[in-house]
A and B are shown apart, each in its own frame.
Chain A
Amino acid sequence: MTATAAPGTLAGRRASGRPRVAVGLAACAVLAAVAFIGALAIGPVSIGPGRVLAILAQAFDAPMEEAGRALRERMVVLDIRLPRAVLGLLTGAGTAMAGAVMQGVFRNPLADPGLVGVSPGAALAAVAFIVLGMPLFAVLPDVIQPLGLPLAAFAGSLVTTMLIARLAMRGGSMSVATLLFAGLALGALASAGTGLLVFISTEQQSREFVFWTLGSLGGATWPKVALVAPFVTALLVGAPFLARGLDALALGEAEAFHVGVPVERLKRWSIIAVAAGVGACVAAAGVVGFVGLIVPHLVRMWLGPGHRVLLPASALLGAAVLLAADICARMLAAPAELPLGVVTALVGAPFFLWLLLRRRLIG
Chain B
Amino acid sequence: MYTAEAVRLTRHGRTLVRDVTLALKPGTITVLVGPNGAGKSSLLKLMAGETTPSAGRVVLEGSDIRTLAPVALARRRAVLPQSADVAFSFRVDEVVRIGLIGSQPSATARIERLLERVDLGGFSERGYDTLSGGERQRVQLARALAQVEVMDPDKPRYLLLDEPTASLDLAHQLLVLREARAHAAAGGAVLAVLHDLNLAAMVADVIAVLVDGALLTCGPPAEVLTDATLKAAFRIEARINAVPDGPFLLPQTVVQGAA
Chain A residues in the interface with B (C-beta under 8 A): 12-13, 15-16, 107-109, 244, 247-252, 254-255, 257-263, 300, 304-306, 308, 363
Contacts and interface: CB of A to CB of B under 8 A. Distances in A.
Interface centre among A15, A107, A250, A300 (most CB of B within 10 A): A250
Contacts of A247: 90, 94, 98
B75 A260 contact: yes
Contacts of A12: 124-125
Contacts of B143: 251, 259
A26 B43 CA distance: 49
A255 B144 CA distance: 10
Interface centre among B70, B79, B89, B125 (most CB of A within 10 A): B70
Interface string B133-156: 000000000010001000000000
A24 B147 CA distance: 29
13 contacts: A16-B91, A107-B88, A247-B90, A251-B86, A251-B95, A254-B45, A254-B50, A257-B50, A258-B147, A260-B70, A260-B71, A306-B90, A363-B88
B48 interface: yes
A250 B86 contact: yes
Contacts of B129: 363
B94 A261 contact: no
Contacts of B49: 257
B74 A259 contact: yes
A363 B49 CA distance: 30
A282 to B, nearest CB: 26
Nearest to B74: A260
B101 A259 contact: yes
A254 B48 CA distance: 9
A107 B85 CA distance: 11
Contacts of B99: 259
Given A305-B88, A363-B89, A259 B98 contact: yes
A172 B205 CA distance: 38
Nearest to B89: A363
A308 B45 CA distance: 29
B74 to A, nearest CB: 3
Interface of B: 45, 48-50, 69-75, 78-79, 81, 83, 85-91, 94-95, 98-99, 101, 105, 124-127, 129, 143, 147
Contacts of A300: 88-89
A304 B48 contact: no
A252 B88 contact: no
A18 to B, nearest CB: 8
B81 A255 contact: yes
Nearest to A300: B88
A15 B143 CA distance: 22
A306 B125 contact: no
Nearest to B69: A262
A261 B124 CA distance: 24
B91 A304 contact: yes
B157 to A, nearest CB: 14
A-B pairs, top 10 by smallest CB distance, nearest first, are A260-B74, A305-B88, A260-B71, A107-B87, A363-B89, A258-B79, A250-B87, A363-B129, A262-B70, A254-B50
B216 to A, nearest CB: 27
A308 B98 CA distance: 12
A16 B147 CA distance: 25
Contact of A258 (B81, B95, B125, B127): B81
Nearest to B105: A308
Contacts of A108: 87
Contacts of A254: 45, 48, 50, 81
B130 to A, nearest CB: 9
A277 B195 CA distance: 49
A301 to B, nearest CB: 8
B86 A257 contact: no
B190 to A, nearest CB: 15
A244 B124 CA distance: 19
A19 to B, nearest CB: 13
A249 B49 CA distance: 17
A39 to B, nearest CB: 32
A304 B94 contact: yes
Given A251-B95, A259-B98, A13 B90 contact: no
Contacts of B45: 254
Nearest to A254: B50
Interface centre among B45, B49, B71, B91 (most CB of A within 10 A): B91
Contacts of B125: 12-13, 15-16
A251 B129 CA distance: 12
Given A108-B87, A257-B50, A260-B75, A15 B70 contact: no
Contacts of B83: 252, 255
Given A259-B99, A300-B88, A363-B88, 6 more contacts: A248-B98, A250-B88, A259-B101, A262-B71, A300-B89, A304-B94
